[in-house]
Amino acid sequence: MPDDDLIEIERTVASWLAAKLPVQGLGRNHVNHGPEIDPALWSEIAELGWLALGLPETAGGAGFTLVEEAALFRELGRVVAPGPFLPTIVGGHVAAAAGEIDLAVSIAAGQRKVALATAAGPLTITDTVTGALAILHARDAELVLVCDAGAAALVRAADLAIEPIDPVDGSIPTGTGRADGAAAAALVDTSVAPIRDRALVLAAATGVGVAMGVLAVGAQYASQRQQFGKAIGAFQAVKHPLADAAARVEGADAQVAYAAVAVRDGLDGASTDAVVAKWAADQAARRNADAVIQVHGAMGFTAEAVPYRYALRAHVLGRTLALRADLLDEILPR
């Protein structure tokens, strides 16, 4: 249950994001052609210490845990925040756990751009990395975070022959790449630090934030939009899909909270709980965005209203770290 530190982190992060990075429709251009995130804001975020929240104090961090990091990511999801938060924060942990303290400090200071790979086929991570990759936050990346159930590595982006693609979510510059025996700049075995579990929980926390954020938008719209002489939220055909969205939030949020503690404390079954959290959050984010787009009617189909931003982020989260079928096969090995 939230303690005082956690509540304070949530409050501080939420108010900063509401002021500096509120969720917006993308408008007539559809695609965000600007920088991934305003470099001045990214520097400010680094100075606030968000990128080092859970790093040990010996690596320049604040010494908080995965539980507090998850609270941060939930708020980021709630406003569909841009920025390579996930690979930067998890990448800092990889460097710190690998004993590359200078690297960890510079990543957490926002001075090195880290991207995030999802395996696009068979992947091997040993001293070197081999496999086809889809790469999020690829633009200007110096390092790419690659992880599986056994190990996590930071590899040099220059070794991956990254080709940019036209991204679905303009705030997440995306590319494809291939590692052919790429040397790891930092390598951590899961027995040393459960990097993938951490990444799954934080991606899941983002998804819960997306699911919560879009539900709040939908509930507000349904309470205000009038048709047939009343607010449409009074109609069960509108109210009930939103109730289902609330049930998905309740479950996914509880699972993320449970998994964060389980991974932090190294409890039995923690990895499965992290995978289930990712599955639940992906489902909640996507299905809640679907429901709220429908509640908005034709307005929901436009790129000017915000539900579509949530739908795109949910879509990308469903392709972050692992696909749904892969998660299910981990939850129940044959």
Partner 1 sequence: MDLTFSPEERTFREEVRTWLHEHVPSEPRPAGDGPDMRDYDTSWQRAQYDGGWAGIAWPTEYGGRGLSTIQQLIWFEEYARADAPWIGACFVGINHGGPTLIARATEVQKAIHLPRILRGDSVWCQGFSEPEAGSDLASLRCRGEIDGDQLVVTGQKIWTSFAHVADYQELLVRTDPDAAKHKGITWVICDMHLPGIEVRQIPTMDRGAEFCEVFYDEVRIPLANVVGDVNDGWSVAMSTLSFERGTGFMAEIIHANRLVDLLIDEARSRVGRNGRPLMSDDEIARSLATLKAEVTVLRSAAYRAISRNIRRGAPGPEGSLLRLVHSELTQRIQRLAVDVLGVDALTYRDVREGGLSTGMWMRSYASTMGGGTSEIQRNIIGERVLGLPRG
Give me the residues that bind partner 1 (CB under 8 A), please: 1, 215, 219, 222-223, 230-231, 233-236, 239-240, 242-244, 246-247, 250-252, 254-255, 257-259, 261-262, 265, 267, 272-273, 276, 279-280, 325, 327-329, 331-332, 334
C-beta closer to partner 1: residue 185 or 280: 280
Concatenated DSSP letters of 138-150: -TT-SEEEEE-SS
C-beta closer to partner 1: residue 162 or 215: 215
Nearest distance from C-beta of residue 236 to partner 1, angstroms: 6
Selection from 88, 124, 90, 138 nearest residue 109 by Cα: 88
C-beta closer to partner 1: residue 187 or 252: 252
C-beta closer to partner 1: residue 30 or 230: 230
Q: Helix or strand or coil: residue 99?
A: coil
C-beta closer to partner 1: residue 62 or 231: 231
Task: Report the sign of the C-alpha dihedral through residues 152, 154, 160, 166, in that order.
Answer: positive
CB 312 within 8 A of CB 168: yes
Rounded CA separation 141/136 (Å):
10
Q: Which helix (DSSP H) or strand (DSSP E) does residue 125 occupy?
A: strand 124-125
Nearest distance from C-beta of residue 260 to partner 1, angstroms: 9
Task: Report the sign of the C-alpha dihedral through residues 66, 67, 73, 77, in that order.
Answer: positive
CB 199 within 8 A of CB 193: no
Nearest distance from C-beta of residue 233 to partner 1, angstroms: 4
C-beta closer to partner 1: residue 18 or 234: 234
Rounded CA separation 142/209 (Å):
28
